[in-house]
Structure formats: C-alpha cells, structure tokens
Amino acid sequence: MKNPKILLICETNFLYSVILAQDRNCGYLLDLASENNIEIAIPEISFLEVRGKIGERFKRRENKLRDIISFLNELMRSEYHKRNLYGIKYKLKQLYTNSPEERKEVLQSAEEIKSLCITTPHSVDIGYRAFLRATANLPPYKDEDRHIYESILDFTRDKGGYDPIIFYTSDKEDFDHKEIRDELEERGIEVYFDSGKCFRRIKEELERR
C-alpha cells in the first residue's frame, strides 16, 4: 500500500523566510515540495498579506532613499561635499531607480512559491469563525492570524489522505497557546516552531518510508 503523503502547513512567515532568504531550512522544505516529496499548504490570506506588506516595505525604503538623496543634494552645494559624497549619492540613486524592478522580482518569487503549494481558500464562513474567535477572546489574538488559523482548521477538517500533518510557524508569540496546541493535537496535527526541527522531522519520515 502506498504511503500517504506528508502535508506541511505554513503561514505568512514561511513566505518571508523563503522570499528574503532568511531561513535555509524553509528553502529546503520548499525544495521537497518542488520534488513532489511532500505537499505544502499555505492560506490564501497569507499570500495577500505578503503582497501588501512587501509593497509597504518597498514604499518605505523608497521614501527614505528619496529623503537621503535630497539631503545629500543640499550638502553637495559645497564643492568639498560634492567631491566626497558623489559616489554615495550615485549608489543610493541606483538603489532608488532599481527598487520597482526589485519589488516586481520579490512579488514574482511569491507567485512562484504559490505555484508549488496548495493554496487554502478563504471564505465567508472562515471570516465568520474568525470573528467568533475574536468575540470569545481565543488565540491567536491578531486579526490576520485568526483568519489564517481558521483557514488551516477548515482545510484540515477532512484530510485523512495525509500522514503526518505538520503545522510549522516561526511565530511562536502568536501561535504558541495551549488552546491552539490542544485543538491541533485533537486533529492529529504536529506543531513546530523551529524550522530545523521541522525539516529534520520530515526528512526522518521520508527516510523511514
């Protein structure tokens, strides 16, 4: 009998870790998905959140670069500063000029990750359950995290074809709560907050088969 597939569920921080090359273990996990060794599921709302926050991040950087370049222009009215600051200004202008293309490449990376993963859809019902969770003051306590978590619960409601099912997030502060751990344990979902431990768990499972 063929072994059931391994399902790894991730959220927004996994995308940042891969896109910004912050965590090589997350890159390894994505490689396993690209080789069809595991399946990775990420809530639709996480991709939307990344798109919005990446845009904000680049906009803030561009505004700062523009302000610094403007300040350098003022300093360079004197010949002394003009000679010493020209190279710095040139490099900053290059960063500013290249920023839109860099932002486009980062967003394209998110789309490439999306093509390798299962996107768990959002729905009105999920939004309503996130609202009820907020009303009951249940974790996670941030609005986006509630929607992400309810998306995960909805997606794993009937997933008998996977074993194991693992939820990985580096966001220990928002997701490491007894209520969440108990709820996921009831569904047989393992939880990891460390990417290295998560990667080792999956590698060991693959080697055992």
- What's the average model confidence in pLDDT over 116-136? 96
Interatomic CA distance for residues 152 and 10, integer angstroms:
9
Please write the tens of the pLDDT for every residue from 178-202: 999 999 999 999 999 999 999 999 9
pLDDT for the residue 1 = 46
Q: Which CATH code is given to the segment(s) 5-50+108-208?
A: 3.40.50.1010
- What is the band of 2 on the pLDDT scale with cuts at 50, 70, 90? low
Question: Higher-confidence residue: 1 or 98?
Answer: 98
Interatomic CA distance for residues 140 and 146, integer angstroms:
6
CA dihedral sign, ordered 108, 195, 120, 138: negative
Interatomic CA distance for residues 209 and 205, integer angstroms:
7
pTM: 0.86
pLDDT for the residue 78 = 87
185 token code pair: 């344990």
Ordered by start, the domain boundaries in the chain are 5-50+108-208
Whole-angstrom distance between the N-terminal and C-terminal Cα of the chain? 11
